[in-house]
Amino acid sequence: MSQLDQQVARRLTRFYVMALTILAVLTVSGLLFIKDTINNHYDDSRVLNVAGRQRMLSQRLTKLSLLKTGGVTAMDNVHFDSLLTTWSTSHMQLRQGMLRMEKTYAVRKSAVIDSMFTRIDPAFESLRQSFVRINEAGSSPAQKQQALQVVLRDEPAYLRQMNDIVFRFDAESFARVRYLERVEWILGLTTLLVVLIEGLFIFRPVVRHTRNTVRMLSESEEALRLVNEQLETANRTLAVTNRKLTDTQTELLRIEDEKYQLQRAEDTVRSAALLEGQEEERRRFARELHDGIGQMLTGLKLQAGSIKKGPFTDEKQRTRFDELTALIQDTIQATRQISHNLMPSVLGDFGLGAALKLLADQSTQTSGIPVFYEGDDRNIRLSPATAISLYRIGQEALNNAVKHADPKAIWMTLNHTRNNVILTVADDGNGFTAPAAENVPLYSSSSKGLDNISTRVRLLNGELKISSKLKKGTKIWVKLTLTDPLLH
């Protein structure tokens, strides 16, 4: 019922507004047209007045010329120069179509008036030059008399043609007034016609539509009541269905969340087992290098030392033997370095701080880039898994900085309290613009470095922050919160 009432009200309002708009447009259009025509007529009156004044000014100039030439003192106190300037300027402005006085007036001219100004121009120019010559102080009496004769000869033609121009201005202005009267009649008749049309084609259909609407409302009231009852029953059924659907969706979300948590737990266990196996394999391989190949290389070095005590046939053999001995020593040193990188013994013997300091020193020697370590070298009692993970994080970050950042210096810091351990690795290298995230490459297109670091931090339940800017370096910050207080 309410919607139908609104529909009828909107339709009535639409028709009513449309009818009033048409009337308003016609009325306002007529008023604007009349106002514009009156303004133009005011301009026409001003132009007509100035055109008529031109005749009077030319006559006054002629009179003053006669008096000047005859040497008679004029009772007219207007300066000849000012009068001549006003007359000439007004003529030129009328000719150009723009009259500038207290404001600018548009001179509406027809082609006939333009041709009339063209015909009057020779007489005007002749009079103007003659007036100028009469007014010039350097002109001789004969020249002034000659100029006066020209004025007396051309002034009648000028006055006659100027009189025709004034009457033509007046005729065209009167024609525009008559045109205004016709337009007013047309607008009035159009308004009456629009009112008649609106009565026949707008208000009568609206009344008929309103009567039909009222009848339809009366007939549909009972049907609407029955439909409302059915709709209420359907709404109750729908509400029950919606509640069941909501419960089902909640249960599905819970199951999906449990599945996701289970997958994360499985991934964590799998990653931890993989890293543990990797570390165990590194430990075994380092032990085999140290105890197997390392011992054999040491024995080879000792045997070479015993051979060196014997005689050599020539100096060339001794030189080659010395080179062989140096090569054996370099191989022993490389084997020790590989064994240390795989599983540094200093980590188990002296703790994380000493291992990181030794890592910084070795990186400085091998890369030539100064690596500064700051932290407590005393043994921090951590679980073996935690200690080796923090060491690998520092090692990974340091290797990435050396390989990809092109830094001038690297800083490694290890801070700890009773419950927290904080490891930072910072450099002043190239940096990068990518956001610090677990799946974003650290220094190069490969994401392996950051993946390894983020995986180890996640397995330790720690926090990872990476900040970097182009040409301003990168900083990696790792914080572990330990359940057991640290023992120093």
- The pair of structure tokens assigned to 450 is 């950051």
Query: Helices marked H in 292-404 — which ranges?
Result: 294-308, 315-342, 345-350, 352-367, 384-400
Crossing angle for the helix pair 448-459 and 384-400, to the nearest 10 degrees: 160
Q: Give the pTM.
A: 0.39
Q: Which amino acid is at 329?
A: Q
**Residue 31 included in any domain:** yes
**Residue 152 included in any domain:** yes
Number of domains present in the structure of the chain: 2
- The CATH number assigned to the domain holding 441 equals 3.30.565.10
Of the residues 219, 245, 266, the one at which a domain ends = 219
**Residue 165 included in any domain:** yes
Helices (H) and strands (E) in the chain, counts: 11, 7
- Number of other CB atoms surrounding residue 377 within 10 Å: 16
Low-confidence ranges of the chain (pLDDT < 50): 1, 436-446, 486-488
**Residue 334 included in any domain:** no
**Residue 376 included in any domain:** yes
Q: Would you state the pLDDT for residue 288? A: 59
Residues 22 and 165 both lie in one domain: yes
**Residue 297 included in any domain:** no
- Number of other CB atoms surrounding residue 61 within 10 Å: 25
Q: Tell me the C-alpha to C-alpha distance, in Å, between residue 258 and each of 158, 253, 459, 460.
A: 110, 9, 19, 22
Q: Exposed, middle or buried, 399 (CB in 10 Å: 0-12/13-18/19+)?
A: middle
Residues 29 and 175 both lie in one domain: yes
Q: Tell me the C-alpha to C-alpha distance, in Å, between residue 209 and each of 9, 11, 154.
A: 11, 9, 80
Distance CA 413, CA 394 (A): 10
Q: Which amino acid is at 26?
A: L
Q: Annotate 385-429 with DSSP letters as a single string.
A: HHHHHHHHHHHHHHHHIIIII--S-EEEEEEE-SSEEEEEEEE-S
**Residue 206 included in any domain:** yes
Q: Would you state the pLDDT for residue 287? A: 60
Pairing mode, strands 463-469 and 473-481: antiparallel
For residues 363, 364, 370 and 373, what is the CA-based torsion angle, rounded to 10 degrees?
Answer: 60
| Three-state DSSP class for residue 99 | strand
**Residue 292 included in any domain:** no
Could you tell me how far CA 32 lies from the centroid of its own chain? Answer: 43
Instruction: Give the domain range for residue 157.
Output: 2-219
Of the residues 219, 247, 279, the one at which a domain ends = 219
443 and 400 Cβ atoms separated by less than 8 Å = yes
Q: Would you state the pLDDT for residue 411? A: 93
Of the residues 158, 192, 219, the one at which a domain ends = 219
Reference 392, options 235, 262, 279; nearest CA is 279
Give the number of C-alpha atoms closer than 13 A to the C-alpha of residue 317, restricted to the C-beta side. 7
- Number of other CB atoms surrounding residue 83 within 10 Å: 18
Q: Would you state the pLDDT for residue 272? A: 58
Give pLDDT tens digits for 328-348: 766 766 666 665 566 576 677
Distance CA 234, CA 236 (A): 5
Q: Find the angle CA(201)-CA(204)-CA(205) to the nearest 5 degrees.
A: 75
Q: Tell me the C-alpha to C-alpha distance, in Å, between residue 230 and each of 1, 223, 225, 417, 425.
A: 17, 11, 9, 72, 72
